[in-house]
Structure 1
Amino acid sequence: MSAKDPAVFDRQYRAFLFDMDGTLLNSIAAAERVWAAWAQRHGLDVEAFLTTIHGARAIDTISRQALPGVDAQVEARGITEAEIADVEGVVAIPGAVAFLQSLPAHCWAVVTSAPKALALRRMHAAGLVPPAVMVTAEDVTNGKPDPACYLLGAQRLGVPMGECLVFEDAPVGIRAGEAAGADVVVVTAAHDEPMVTRHPTIASYDEVQAQCDAAGMLRLRPSTMA
């Protein structure tokens, strides 16, 4: 665990907001299989293109390519259908299941760039129980790095954004959390290469534990087991 910003371990929060892919579960292999096939069909440099897909909504990823004659909404639906069909190798980030189970149900939400059907499919495949509050691709007009998704997650929980802690893994998601005004923890379990940010990082949820006091306030603490 790296605590470049140890203040997150000294603060109380009303809620934790989690990105999904790369943060609660690892779906990189499945996502890259689907997107690589799409990129090949459209004559893109597959290796370069795959570096751009993580953390963003499918429709935003496709729209950025500005491919002539391509309907981004139609293509995004096709991508979602293919990803729902392929969850081979989708697994929970180490320690995530137990960490989420330790949180009061009303104190956390998932804020993902995935469509809701795909988010539910992947969470179930990874053995994660979906929370009562989820913000998915369909819920916002502008995806990450726009902060709208995190602001909506806090609103749905009835919690001020400044009292939320965001868990993220991708640069666009980290920027969304920052823009929303939240503290951020970066989860690096799915990273092949180090990511340098000003935020504390954890390689797995085994490194931290959540404490909830009688008033329902949460604290993130380094785990005594780490």
Structure 2
Amino acid sequence: MPRLPTNLDKPYAAFLFDMDGTILNSLAAAERVWGRWAERHGLDVDAFLPTMHGSRGIDTIARLKLPGVDPVREAASITEAEIEDVDGVVALPGAAAFLNALPPRRWAIVTSSPLRLAERRLEAAGLPLPAFMVTAEDVEIGKPNPQCYILGAERVGANPKECLVFEDVHAGILAGEGAGAEVMVVTATQHHEDTFHAHSTLSSYEGIRPIVFSDNMIGITAL
């Protein structure tokens, strides 16, 4: 039985979901593409790969300050490769049913992926397209800056402080915290225990379902 979150039945104005590692697993595909790129540029692949999760591609590349490397051009090339490689991209257990049960205008996806890649991975995983989405193109500064979650809350018409953010990596957790939202850490693909202590955790979406309260706030309850 998956571990259930501790904040069952608490009301929220909206749910804001990161995508990769939070509602779907694209770990193998992403690491194949980024691993090949890192190898071409002479990086230590094993040391590099953990640093690229949760951040926009352009930010990941810019941080490296590689001589002669244009982060914009390289990030665009990586995005095309990731769009082509969706082998093994799957929904997390129970995620499709959970998302489909939510009121359509009370949730959004807030991802560091570009829009085309986000749509491709959601399609590959069999997950619904949300009414609202914030992607890499929508922000000037990526996670861990909170801009993305502030914008996500704005798009669903909610105060960030009344939202529940679903995240899986440190950069995203910091972004949710910075926006003033409560954070649920999804542990299905990433395991960084030092980031969990302040938050509820969710190992999968099995054993839970969304609920709608009489005032139209939403929450999570056990099946």
TM over 0.5: yes
Q: Determine the structure 1 residue equivalent to 2:220.
A: 220
| Alignment partners' CA distance in 2, 1:219 and 1:154 | 16
Q: Determine the structure 1 residue equivalent to 2:126.
A: 127
Shift of 1:12: 1.1
| Alignment partners' CA distance in 1, 2:209 and 2:192 | 23
| Alignment partners' CA distance in 1, 2:49 and 2:213 | 43
Q: Determine the structure 1 residue equivalent to 2:204.
A: 204
Shift of 1:126: 0.1
Q: Determine the structure 1 residue equivalent to 2:159.
A: 160
**Amino acid corresponding to residue 173 of structure 1 in structure 2:** G
User: Where in structure 1 do 4 or more consecutive aligned residues deviate above 6 Å?
Assistant: none
**Mind listing any 5+ residue stretches in structure 1 that lack a counterpart?**
none
Q: Determine the structure 2 residue equivalent to 1:182.
A: 181
Q: Secondary structure at the match of 1:201?
A: strand
Q: Secondary structure at the match of 1:51?
A: helix
How do residues 53-92 of structure 1 correspond to structure 2 at under 5 angstroms? 53-92=52-91
| Alignment partners' CA distance in 2, 1:71 and 1:64 | 12
Shift of 1:172: 0.4
Q: TM-score, normalised by structure 1?
A: 0.94
Q: Determine the structure 1 residue equivalent to 2:100.
A: 101
Alignment RMSD: 1.2
How many residues end up aligned between the 2 structures?
Answer: 219
**Mind listing any 5+ residue stretches in structure 2 that lack a counterpart?**
none
- Name the % identity: 58
| Alignment partners' CA distance in 2, 1:204 and 1:213 | 23
Shift of 1:11: 2.6
Whether the aligned pair in 1 keeps the contact of 2:4 and 2:207 (CA below 8 Å) is: no
Shift of 1:2: 6.0
| Alignment partners' CA distance in 2, 1:2 and 1:130 | 26
